Structure 1
Amino acid sequence: MIGVPMPDPRDSIIANLNEQMKAFFGDGNEVQQIAQGVSGEKAGTYGGGHSNKLRAERDKIAPKLKQAVDSGASLHQACLAAGVDYKRARLIARENGFKLPSNP
């Protein structure tokens, strides 16, 4: 209508949020304090498409590396058998939950 001021959209958003908070706390729910730096999902990856491709490649290498480690190969021999350098081998081992032999 002409000449009638329009209501502020922020007021309706705030009113809706207040209603939701009353309903949440009215049901007996409580606020949870989450420590800074704690996330619920990923372990050091960004989750992008490229990192998923790299992870898939590492997952293909993991069985060969684990087999070399389980057969008693040294770190150097296991890396040569899998065709990776030791930093990538350490990452693969950490992601797949097995332990590499220590470097002499």
Structure 2
Amino acid sequence: MTMIDDLRDLANLEGDLLVIAAYERLGIGTHSDEDNFTDNIWAVGHLAETLAWECGGDSPRYTHPSCKDLFDDVVALGRTICPGAWDYFFSVGQRDSAAAAAGW
């Protein structure tokens, strides 16, 4: 992966989060399931876990200085939409990535 790939992936992630934020404002995907999670919460959780997995462990992803601001913006946006889900699933992704890097 190159720095350009990382920037592209972060921009796509930001776009996905902006769509979820719009859904929240419009009341789309806001009905709770049997676990009391909405479709939007699950989507935010998936994106948080994926991002954490990609940049965790020994991964060089998103470490280029030009990625820092966009990475920070993406994390802030995820936390704005659903702070509990973002933080929980991001930590799960970090934990799993570190475990995989250590050989499980």
Give the TM-score category using the shorter length.
0.3 to 0.5
TM-score normalised by L of structure 2 = 0.33
Between 1 and 2, higher relative CO (CA 8 Å, sep ≥ 6) is seen in 2
Larger Rg: 1
